[in-house]
A and B are shown apart, each in its own frame.
Chain A
Amino acid sequence: MTARTAAPPPLEVREVTVRFAGLTALDEVSFTVAPRTVHAVIGPNGAGKSTCFNVLSGLYRPVSGTVRLGERELTRLAPHRIAALGVARTFQNIVTTQGTVADNLMLGRHALSRAGFAASALRLPRAVREQREHLARAREIAELTGLGALFDTPVALLSYGDRKRVELARALCLEPRVLLLDEPVAGMNAGERVRMAEVVGEVRAELGLSVVLVEHDMGLVMRLADEVTVLDFGRRIAHGTPDQVRRDPEVLRAYLGTGAGGEDAA
């Protein structure tokens, strides 16, 4: 019922290539997410960041390369198996389901609970008890992400920023060891961005999980990330700490389209 306490195993991405009908979306991309760190994947639009997430969560199958979580290879597993191993994600465009915040969060408990069709239909005591226990944990996570007061509110009535946080809370309900955040602050106003950054920082400290972050907001990336991988046209063009990446001439060229001049890089 409680959060997994052991350190998450490292997430290793090794020479992953994804092709769509001739277009190479990812070209032998490698990086490793060390346990309990925040690893940012950045790059211009169309660089392959979301493709990378879809490989990590099992929605796309790469033509070559492997993704490993500790000893387990994820590349051949179906999305629901990967979820069961403790890899949770959010989406760039919000994908919530009908119902209240509680309903959405309880969906996040799906992989951790057992009650099947027969047990739920007959409302067997163990199904009822299980539901109650998971609801209590979902409420804790709602409090942690600042959704406590909205727990029984239909998601459709929430603001954009709150719905983004519902997605985060739902992913946390999986008790993940690795959390994949796809543009968690996109479209948010300044106040919501600051709150979201705080929440991400808090949950990492409190739940001890690894975070992979795709984000365009450089301020957020620089503040949260321990390591940064930069993609452009599906290739890894730079890698390192936020400071190293910020000074990398390749990165400046990809983002600003200027020649690789080193002297004006700041």
Chain B
Amino acid sequence: MSDLLRRGRLLIPVLLLCALPFYLDAFWLRIGLFSMAAAIGAVGLGLLSGTAGQLSLGHAFFLAVGAYGYVWLAGDDGPGLPPAVALVLAVLLAGAAGGLFSPVAGRVKGIYLGVATLALVFLGHHVLLTADSVTGGFNGSSVPPLEVGGFAFDQGDGLAVLGVPFGAEERLWYLGLALFALTWFTARGLLRGRPGRALVALRDSETAAAVMGVHVARYRSAAFVVSSMYAGLAGVLLALAFRRVVPDYFSLALSVDYLAMIVIGGLGSVAGATAGAVFVTALPLLMTRYADQLPLVAAPGSGDGSLGPTEAARYLYGAAIVVILLFAPDGLTGLARRARARLARRRRPASAPSDPGAAPRPPATAVRAKEHTP
């Protein structure tokens, strides 16, 4: 019964998200689309950094592998595969790239892995710039539209649903929703299942995990591979949304953006990674759009040394990270959980026994047991 109720609660936001293309214009749909792509990538990084405690600065590299992999596999320069096949292969390719890195990812832990993955970003950027024949070099290359069963996710032939013209944004919106739903479903299955518990144990105490039967190196590499696959999927969706991929997009700054997402959202949860992804993605786009109405922010491209909207957004979310680390180390999910617990307390008489699920959970960092040094 409660299971049905929980599913029912999920149904409302799903219906709402499905209805949005009928009411929103292309600008808002594009924000949503970029947010969904970012959320997929952030869920992947959250699995690696939030759950398994492995820092990665190389997320942009795997996004690039997914994006460029799709472009090349589906494009005329490459084998020219059907785009749907190229999508799947691009995700697998990103996973394989993560697998190639597993000798490092399985042995090196925490912040040291962060430093090791830094190299990947620079290597990837260099390859993207120099391997012209595959990547199109500095100018990048255009992205072939996705086609599934004869239905193309592009501007198309003037298709209209219920009187609303369905262009590329509307179509891609539903693709993004489907891919995000897949991510949500699989990531939550992973986290609540045997692998998720093993990864949490690895993060909290490698020794305890090993003694409980967890193959440390194998699970560390597997977390890295899975995280790379989500990044690859995010990369494909981003490429489809941008319609053009350029090397400069996949820079270190992008990796840092993804770290910001999972920290702002709250480490170790799928919902948190999603919330952080929406925040970090939507903020600069919204600020660019409404630059003229904001104080202290110049219109884009005014170039007189004043603060542009993109920079202002960076300052804002930099500040958001500092505020969150200081006052809510468990991120937006922690804030939401505490707000819910407070509401529940207010609604219930003070004498009623408190529900253990609603009890304020201490932030992840506080629960983390010290590494056992035998």
A103 and B197 within 8 A (CB): yes
Q: Assess whether B222 is interfacial by the CB under 8 Å rule.
A: yes
A121 and B186 within 8 A (CB): yes
A96 and B197 within 8 A (CB): no
Q: Mark B183-208, 1 if CB is under 8 A from A, else 0.
A: 00111011011111110110111011
A152 and B357 within 8 A (CB): yes
| Chain B residue, CB-CB nearest to A93 | B372
Q: Assess whether B16 is interfacial by the CB under 8 Å rule.
A: no
Q: Assess whether A111 is interfacial by the CB under 8 Å rule.
A: yes
Stretch in contact with the other chain, from A53-61, A191-199, A220-228: A53-61
> Contact check: which of A51, A110, A155 meets B194 at CB < 8 Å?
A110
B357 and A131 within 8 A (CB): no
B213 and A91 within 8 A (CB): no
Q: Assess whether A154 is interfacial by the CB under 8 Å rule.
A: yes
Within 8 A of B (CB), among A199-247: none
Report the separation of the CA atoms of residues A79 and B198 in the bound assembly, to the nearest whole angstrom: 14
B367 and A89 within 8 A (CB): no
Q: Assess whether B162 is interfacial by the CB under 8 Å rule.
A: no
Q: Assess whether A7 is interfacial by the CB under 8 Å rule.
A: no
Stretch in contact with the other chain, from B79-87, B115-123, B358-366: B358-366
B211 and A110 within 8 A (CB): no
Chain A residues within an 8 Å CB radius of B185: 123
Chain B residues within an 8 Å CB radius of A98: 200, 203-204, 268, 364, 367-368
Chain A residues within an 8 Å CB radius of B189: 120-123, 127
Chain A residues within an 8 Å CB radius of B211: 57-59, 79-80, 83, 88-89
Q: Assess whether A107 is interfacial by the CB under 8 Å rule.
A: yes
Q: Mark A85-103, 1 if CB is under 8 A from B, else 0.
A: 0001101011111110001
| Chain B residue, CB-CB nearest to A60 | B374
Q: Assess whether A11 is interfacial by the CB under 8 Å rule.
A: no
Within 8 A of B (CB), among A126-159: 127, 131, 152-157
B193 and A131 within 8 A (CB): yes
A80 and B369 within 8 A (CB): no
A121 and B213 within 8 A (CB): no
Report the separation of the CA atoms of residues A96 and B371 in the bound assembly, to the nearest whole angstrom: 10
Q: Assess whether B161 is interfacial by the CB under 8 Å rule.
A: no
Given contacts A57-B211, A95-B207, A96-B369, contact A116 B374 (CB under 8 A): no
Q: Assess whether A174 is interfacial by the CB under 8 Å rule.
A: yes
Q: Assess whether A84 is interfacial by the CB under 8 Å rule.
A: yes
> Contact check: which of A78, A91, A109, A119 meets B208 at CB < 8 Å?
A91
Interface of B is mostly: helix
> Size of chain A's interface in residues, with CB distance under 8 A?
49
B207 and A117 within 8 A (CB): no
Chain B residues within an 8 Å CB radius of A157: 359
Chain A residues within an 8 Å CB radius of B195: 115-117, 120
Chain A residues within an 8 Å CB radius of B213: 80, 83-84, 110-111, 174
Report the separation of the CA atoms of residues A122 and B195 in the bound assembly, to the nearest whole angstrom: 12
> Contact check: which of B201, B222, B368 meets A117 at CB < 8 Å?
B222
Chain A residues within an 8 Å CB radius of B361: 154, 156
Report the separation of the CA atoms of residues A115 and B374 in the bound assembly, to the nearest whole angstrom: 30
B207 and A110 within 8 A (CB): no
B369 and A97 within 8 A (CB): yes
> Contact check: which of B205, B215, B216 meets A97 at CB < 8 Å?
B205
B92 CB → nearest A CB, Å: 13
Chain B residues within an 8 Å CB radius of A93: 370, 372
B208 and A117 within 8 A (CB): no
Chain B residues within an 8 Å CB radius of A153: 356
B212 and A120 within 8 A (CB): no
Within 8 A of A (CB), among B108-149: none
Within 8 A of A (CB), among B262-321: 268
| Chain A residue, CB-CB nearest to B198 | A110
B334 CB → nearest A CB, Å: 13
A113 and B364 within 8 A (CB): no
Given contacts A111-B213, A115-B193, contact A97 B362 (CB under 8 A): no
Chain A residues within an 8 Å CB radius of B209: 97, 107
Given contacts A80-B214, A116-B195, contact A121 B374 (CB under 8 A): no
Q: Assess whether B18 is interfacial by the CB under 8 Å rule.
A: no
Most-contacted residue by chain A among B187, B189, B367 (CB, 10 A):
B189
Chain A residues within an 8 Å CB radius of B215: 78, 80
Q: Assess whether A108 is interfacial by the CB under 8 Å rule.
A: yes
B205 and A99 within 8 A (CB): no
Q: Assess whether A177 is interfacial by the CB under 8 Å rule.
A: no
A108 and B194 within 8 A (CB): no
Chain A residues within an 8 Å CB radius of B370: 93
Chain A residues within an 8 Å CB radius of B261: none
Q: Assess whether B91 is interfacial by the CB under 8 Å rule.
A: no
Given contacts A98-B204, A154-B359, A156-B361, contact A110 B369 (CB under 8 A): no
Chain B residues within an 8 Å CB radius of A111: 212-213
Within 8 A of B (CB), among A152-178: 152-157, 170, 174
Chain A residues within an 8 Å CB radius of B222: 117
- Extra 16 A-B pairs, beta carbons < 8 Å, given A122-B189, A174-B212: A60-B374, A78-B210, A80-B210, A80-B214, A84-B213, A95-B207, A95-B369, A97-B200, A97-B203, A98-B204, A107-B197, A110-B197, A110-B214, A120-B195, A121-B190, A131-B194
For this complex, 14 residue pairs linking A to B, each with C-beta atoms less than 8 Å apart, are: A54-B374, A57-B211, A59-B210, A60-B374, A91-B372, A98-B204, A103-B200, A115-B194, A117-B222, A119-B193, A120-B190, A156-B362, A156-B366, A174-B213
Closest 9 CB pairs of A and B: A111-B213, A120-B193, A83-B213, A79-B210, A121-B186, A97-B204, A95-B208, A156-B367, A123-B189
